[in-house]
């Protein structure tokens, strides 16, 4: 994907120039005072049922906010008139745990009907995913509306590939007004969760078209990955993104320093001079990483497109009166 894709530039301009909803902490303090506690309760239930699910929910914020702002468009199912984001290149066979958001929405609708947006659920649940696995906790700004549409093409044009290098990622994040520090810290979301063999086959067997593995992969770790992801094997098999996949900590950065990054887009943060110092710093100081990560998540949550929205009653579909709305190209 070229950095100069005209669709990408248009969407980034919309995100950085247009003013959307006015977001603020404790937005639901009067209309749904238990909203945040309900979300955390349901996230705890999800974590006890399947530990991996909370990491999957956290990923939704990145995949939602980068595509036309934080508007829950990533949650919309396809319709005859709309190809949504779930089947985009970066999401298909990858994003999961949508049912966790459904459970949270159901609980909130019982307590406060037609009040809490799905977009805000994603923001709250992502924060809780981090806090519940040992990471930082922070105050979230709320008050978003839910998108009336979604676009597979917009997601394909914007979302970075697991093959991306640090220079590309720096450029991309900068267009969202996110600094190099923000980018490296937010990459630390890979402190929890798993990735597919599909995303690393080229690293293991054909890095940069060489017919050889990525030379920076630590040898013992490479043997482990070769066993997990053999040529001709099931590329939907998953591997841990760091050595402590169920604990949010700075192990991810320690792994990068030792050449044990799972994705190319992870390991490149240490091999690149532009980002290496932040990786070293976060690997040595977990508190600094936690502070930078929380700050980055708040900034990421501020992204909006300014398009019209609603509060959906079901996070997977727009409300009935909007069913004739066609996707914006």
Q: What is the pLDDT of residue 282?
A: 98
Asked if 125 and 39 count as a contact pair (C-beta separation under 8 A), the reply is yes
Q: What is the pLDDT of residue 329?
A: 37
Least confident range of 195-204, 231-240, 269-278, 313-322: 313-322
What does the pLDDT look like over 149-171, one tens digit per residue?
999 999 999 998 888 999 999 99
Respond yes or no: is residue 63 known to be catalytic.
Answer: yes
Residue 227 burial class via C-beta count within 10 angstroms: exposed 0-12, middle 13-18, buried 19 and up: exposed
Q: Do domains 24-159+303-310 and 166-300 have the same CATH topology?
A: no
Share of the chain above pLDDT 70, in %: 91
Instruction: Give the pair of three-digit tokens for residue 266.
Output: 């992870």
Nearest Cα neighbor of 268 from 183, 198, 179, 176 is 183
What are residue 190's phi and psi, to 5 degrees? Answer: -75, 10
Q: What is the pLDDT of residue 20?
A: 59
Asked if 304 and 143 count as a contact pair (C-beta separation under 8 A), the reply is no
Kindly tell me if the per-residue pLDDT of 199 is higher than 80. yes
Question: In whole angstroms, what is the distance from residue 252 CA to residue 190 CA?
Answer: 7
Q: What is the pLDDT of residue 94?
A: 81
Euclidean distance between the first and the last CA atom of the chain, given in angstroms as a whole number: 18
What does the pLDDT look like over 292-324, one tens digit per residue?
999 999 999 999 988 999 999 999 999 875 444
Band of pLDDT at residue 13, cut at 50, 70 and 90:
very low
Instruction: Give the pair of three-digit tokens for residue 187.
Output: 């990459």
Kindly tell me if the per-residue pLDDT of 17 is higher than 50. no
- Where do we find the tokens 């509306």? 145
Kindly tell me if the per-residue pLDDT of 28 is higher than 60. yes
Domain chopping of the chain, boundaries: 24-159+303-310, 166-300
Nearest Cα neighbor of 270 from 135, 169, 160, 130 is 169
Could you say which architecture CATH assigns to the domain 166-300? Answer: Orthogonal Bundle (1.10)
Instruction: Give the pair of three-digit tokens for residue 238.
Output: 């998953």
What does the pLDDT look like over 46-104, one tens digit per residue?
999 999 999 999 999 999 999 999 999 999 999 999 999 999 888 888 889 999 999 99
Question: In whole angstroms, what is the distance from residue 104 CA to residue 83 CA?
Answer: 25
More confident residue, 19 or 217: 217
Q: What is the pLDDT of residue 174?
A: 95
Q: How many CA atoms lie within 13 A of 2 on its CB side?
A: 5
Question: In whole angstroms, what is the distance from residue 51 CA to residue 189 CA?
Answer: 15
**What letter would DSSP give residue 238?**
E
What's the topology of domain 24-159+303-310? Peroxidase; domain 1 (1.10.520)
Q: What is the pLDDT of residue 161?
A: 85
What does the pLDDT look like over 134-148, one tens digit per residue?
999 999 999 999 999
Q: Which residues are annotated as a binding site?
A: 64, 67, 69, 71, 73, 85, 160, 190, 242, 244, 249
Kindly tell me if the per-residue pLDDT of 243 is higher than 80. yes
What are residue 208's phi and psi, to 5 degrees? Answer: 55, 30
Band of pLDDT at residue 16, cut at 50, 70 and 90:
very low
pLDDT mean over 224-232: 97
Q: What is the pLDDT of residue 321?
A: 57
Kindly tell me if the per-residue pLDDT of 286 is higher than 50. yes
Q: What is the pLDDT of residue 305?
A: 86
């Amino acid at each position: 994907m070229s950095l100069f894709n005209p669709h990408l530039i248009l969407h980034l301009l919309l995100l950085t120039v247009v003013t959307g909803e006015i977001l603020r902490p404790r937005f639901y303090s009067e209309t749904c005072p238990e909203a945040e506690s309900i979300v955390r309760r349901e996230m705890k239930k999800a974590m006890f049922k399947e530990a991996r699910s909370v990491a999957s929910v956290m990923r939704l914020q990145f995949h939602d906010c980068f595509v036309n702002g934080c508007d829950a468009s990533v949650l919309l199912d396809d319709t005859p008139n709309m190809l949504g984001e779930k089947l985009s290149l970066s999401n298909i066979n990858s994003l999961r745990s949508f049912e966790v958001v459904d459970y949270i929405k159901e609980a909130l609708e019982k307590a406060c009907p037609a009040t809490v947006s799905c977009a805000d659920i994603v923001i709250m649940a992502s924060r809780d995913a981090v806090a519940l696995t040992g990471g930082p906790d922070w105050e979230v700004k709320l008050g978003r509306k839910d998108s009336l549409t979604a676009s597979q093409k917009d997601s394909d044009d914007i979302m970075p590939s697991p093959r991306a290098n640090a220079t590309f990622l720096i450029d991309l994040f900068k267009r969202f007004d996110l600094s190099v520090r923000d980018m490296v810290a937010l990459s630390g979301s890979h402190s929890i969760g798993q990735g597919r063999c599909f995303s690393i086959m080229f690293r293991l067997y054909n890095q940069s078209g060489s017919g050889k593995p990525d030379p920076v992969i630590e040898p013992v770790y490479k043997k482990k990955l070769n066993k997990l992801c053999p040529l001709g094997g099931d590329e939907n098999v998953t591997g841990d993104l760091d050595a402590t996949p169920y604990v949010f900590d700075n192990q991810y950065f320690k792994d990068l320093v030792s050449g044990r990054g799972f994705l190319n887009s992870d390991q490149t943060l240490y091999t690149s001079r532009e980002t290496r110092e932040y990786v070293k710093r976060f690997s040595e100081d977990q508190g600094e990483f936690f502070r930078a990560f929380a700050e980055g998540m708040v900034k990421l949550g501020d992204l909006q497109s300014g398009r019209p929205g609603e509060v959906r009653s079901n996070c997977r579909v727009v409300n009935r009166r909007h069913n004739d709305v066609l996707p914006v190209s």
